[in-house]
Amino acid sequence: MNKYKGLGFFHYGVFVSLVLSAVFAYNLFYGDRQLFLPGDTTHGHHQIEMECEACHVESFESGEPMQQACLSCHADALDKARDTHPKKKFTDPRNADLLANLDATQCITCHIEHSPEITGEFGVTLPEDFCFYCHQNIAEERPTHKEFEFDSCSDSGCHSYHDNRALYEQFLQKHINKPEVLDKRKSLVPNGLSLWKKKHSEQLPLTLKQHDAGSLFAASADVDGIVQQWANSGHAQANVNCGSCHANEQGETVGDLALEVDSCTNCHERQSQGFKQGLHGMRIGADLSAMQVSNAKLDMHESAAHQELTCSSCHDPHQPDLKAAALESCLGCHNDEHSNNYVGSAHATLYEQELEGQIEQGQGVSCATCHMPRTKKGKSVFVEHNQSLTLEPNSKMLRPVCMNCHGLEFSTAALADKELIMRNFSGEFDSEHPSFNMVRTRLEEKRKRKLERKKDRANQ
């Protein structure tokens, strides 16, 4: 009897857990996934947090599938950053014992999710002094570091864990004692259109009369106005007709086609790739609907809340204007202190002067100059559309942006000053950075040793 009762109880337990897991599965796939989130997701990922499968590929256990998921979105950027601590550094037998303290081959050793109470800047979930585990001996190797605490290694302008492209000693030595503002500043200007015209010199720009709009657009639309705009655009110059974007599979121009990023990707692969890898396009990159401005955590204008992020958020598809994209479009959505303080800054004044033709093209500084820097590859100058690539840690901006116009120390010191960034680089700040004093000391020591050796040799 007792046995039977026990079994009955067992059945009941199975029943309850079946019901529970059915409810769980239902909610996970059809219902409110939020219920199963153990906690808020980090700043970088909240826009995809409901897409559990983006990280939890097969199950809710971490392991190789999750590691691969992280890499599928981040490997490119870490490669580009010439990651200082790549996996292969630790599969090297000489360093393998370091892993006993901290398995640095796994992203989630340092970046777990849904744990806001232990999440610091950049989604790091270890205590700030964790560098200690592997670099205990730094004070012995480098007397200059004797006074430093281990929670200061990654202070802005000192070291990063992944990206030290602008933060190693030789680099600082090479660029030390440069003026605050360079006399000869680099000017990069996007040249896609002019390169296209050179390559297709036989093709004349399309004119107002040559558009293939037909009569397929809705009567309510201002087709005449659109045709006018288009005729003045880079697209008409590059022989891109209405049908290039508005055609169906049969090649007929149709007006009511749902146009998405894909219609641009066909011809602008590089820009689309970048866009999808950054925060603006990450949802489209993960095959989700476009990001809604209303889901932002950063401050946005109320009036933009209904918008979503696609190519058309910054480019009027009928008359793309790079200058409007670089500033007006941004301020149409962004409404935080840093963004709003740009207006009136020294950089904004330069940009106005550029727009008015008072200074050379490329000498002004717009939002895009810093966040979507112009990048040179061979002869082509294009715009990096991954606006996260230069953002965190902000020392990533040094090489592709600030150093085109400023000395390295001035730029490093500016980027280390959070309040200055809030003021969008207006007003007083301390333009010296301690790293450079250390480098000066080391250079001075080197010079003295060289002198002594010379003296020794002369005395011999």
Of residues 411, 416, 425, the one with CA closest to residue 347: 425
In whole angstroms, how close is the CB of 139 to ligand HEC at the nearest point? Answer: 14
- Among residues 331, 334, 288, the alpha carbon closest in space to that of 310 is found at 288
Tokens representing residue 233 in the block: 């655009």
For 258, which DSSP code?
-
Residue 422 · residue 341 · CB < 8 Å: yes
- Tell me which residues in 1-20 interact with ligand HEC (CB under 6 A): none
Q: Does 246 contact ligand HEC by CB under 6 A?
A: yes
User: Interface with ligand HEC by CB under 6 A: which range of 4-12, 151-159, 433-441, 450-458?
Assistant: 151-159
Beta strands in 346-419 (DSSP E): 374-377, 380-383
At closest approach, how far in Å is the CB of 267 from ligand HEC?
A: 3
436 binds ligand HEC (CB under 6 A): no
Q: In whole angstroms, what is the distance from residue 303 CA to residue 119 CA?
A: 32
Q: How far is CA 41 from the centre of its chain?
A: 18
CA–CA distances in Å: residue 159 to residues 103, 104, 167, 173: 20, 17, 6, 15
Q: Which residues are registered as beta bridge partners of 381?
A: 376
Applying the rule CB under 6 A, the residues between 199 and 228 that interact with ligand HEC are 211, 213, 217, 221, 223, 226-227
Closer to ligand HEC by Cβ: residue 107 or 166: 107
Number of residues that bind ligand HEC (CB under 6 A): 160
Within positions 68 to 127, which residues make up the interface with ligand HEC, using CB under 6 A? 69-71, 73-74, 77, 81, 84-85, 89, 95, 98, 102, 104, 107-114, 122-124
Minimal distance, residue 447 CB to ligand HEC, in Å: 24
Phi, psi of 377 (to 5 degrees): -135, 110
Q: Which stretch binds ligand HEC (CB under 6 A): 1-9, 11-19, 36-44, 440-448?
A: 36-44
In this complex, which beta carbon is closest to ligand HEC, that of residue 283 or of residue 452?
283
Q: List the interface residues with ligand HEC, window 315-374 (CB under 6 A).
A: 315, 317-318, 320, 322, 325-326, 329-334, 336, 338-339, 342, 346-347, 350, 363, 365, 367-372, 374
Residue 441: CB minimum distance to ligand HEC, A? 18
Distance CA 301, CA 421 (A): 20
> What letter does residue 42 receive in the DSSP assignment?
P
- Contact mark string toward ligand HEC, 176..195, x via CB under 6 A: -----x---x----x-xx--
**Choices 5-13, 15-23, 34-42, 445-453 (CB under 6 A): range interacting with ligand HEC:** 34-42
Tokens 């401050």 label which residue?
Answer: 299
Stretch 278-317 residues interacting with ligand HEC (CB under 6 A): 279-280, 282, 286, 291, 293, 296-298, 304, 307, 309, 311-315, 317
- Residue 172 or residue 282: which is nearer to ligand HEC going by CB? 282
Q: Mask: binding to ligand HEC, 400-419, rule CB under 6 A, as x and -?
A: -xx-xxx----x--xx----
Asked, as a colleague might, if the bond just before 393 is cis with ω within 30 of 0, I would say: yes
Binder to ligand HEC among 9, 12, 26, 36 (CB under 6 A)?
Answer: 36
Q: Quote the CA–CA distance of 170 and 56 in Å, as a whole number.
A: 41
Tokens of 348: 């904004």
Cα 381 from Cα 191, distance rounded (Å): 6
Place of tokens 């009897």: 1
Smaller CB separation from ligand HEC, 147 or 456: 147
The Cα 243–Cα 142 span in angstroms is: 65
